[in-house]
Amino acid sequence: MTYEQAGDGPLHYFPCRYDRSRLLFRGPRRDLSGDHIAFLGGTETYGKFLHEPFPVLVEVALGLPSVNLGCVQAGPDAYLNDPATLDVTRRAAVTVVQVTGALNLSNRLYAVHPRRNDRFLRASPALQALYPEVDFTEFAFTRHLTRSLADVSRERFAQVVEELRTAWLARMVTLLDRLSPPVVLLWMGFQPPPRDPVADPMADPPLIHAGMLAALRPRVAGYVEVVASDHARAEGVRGMAFPPLEAQAAQGLPGPAVHAEVAAALTPVIRGLL
């Protein structure tokens, strides 16, 4: 059960599936027979702890169904490993793809779960050779793994960063090429994409910098960059719904005011592509 900060009762996500997809999405389930907008992304697109994430707000603004295909902690692997979801997007009038971090994907150093992309499965022989002193059985999640590797050796972690960025860029190129145009790429966060690749690599979304996004922009019809305003950030968790034990997780996610800014930025771009 989830609790509303203002006491409005439990929040229901109405989980659903589309066609033969193995992924579980946020509902209520939308009708795919007519024009609609598809949204791919991670926890923010899914709208964890929110009554109305930005896909719903765009739906209201445009009067078109928004099919929320966001998955909690998803990376591009979640979609590339689920062809049925890609088939769903091919029927959309416009597809919006949120930029997610580069931790949650399989690469030459480690493997992640094909659907729950934040779940670390195993280290490759190359990573074990790079960090012989690390016991990889201690890790279950990619963020814990990568933070620990950075703490052990910043010099060796630079090699991890390079591999993850290379893998993310290649995987995103493949994903965008498999989507039917028009596609809009969305950056949403508490800061703009860093221009310096050596800036804090673990800032959300982790490891992504402006140069990586620039490489993807020729493959999309539109790019929307939303950096939360001071006012939206000051709202904090106001209007979010979560149990007490998940208060810290909620504080790290954008609240309703940020989602309203994202929807306001996306709406005219999507309208122009319809």
> Which 3 state secondary structure label does DSSP give 82?
coil
Tell me what pLDDT residue 197 has: 78
* Encoded amino acid at 31, one letter: D
Q: Are 164 and 107 in contact (CB under 8 A)?
A: yes
Q: Is the pLDDT of residue 1 over 80?
A: no
According to DSSP, residue 42 is labeled S
77 pLDDT band (50/70/90 cuts)? very high
Query: Domain locations in the chain?
Result: 37-105+168-273
Give the model confidence (pLDDT) of 4-57 as tens digits. Answer: 343 344 688 999 999 999 999 999 999 999 999 999 999 999 999 999 999 999
Segment 253-272 mean pLDDT: 97
Segment 248-274 mean pLDDT: 96
CATH number 3.40.50.2300 is the correct assignment for the domain at 37-105+168-273: no
C-alpha span between 255 and 237 (Å, rounded):
6
Cα angle value 85/173/76 (rounded, 5°): 45
Of 259, 238, 230, 203, give the one whose Cα is nearest residue 66. 259
Q: Is the pLDDT of residue 154 over 80?
A: yes
pTM, 2 dp? 0.93
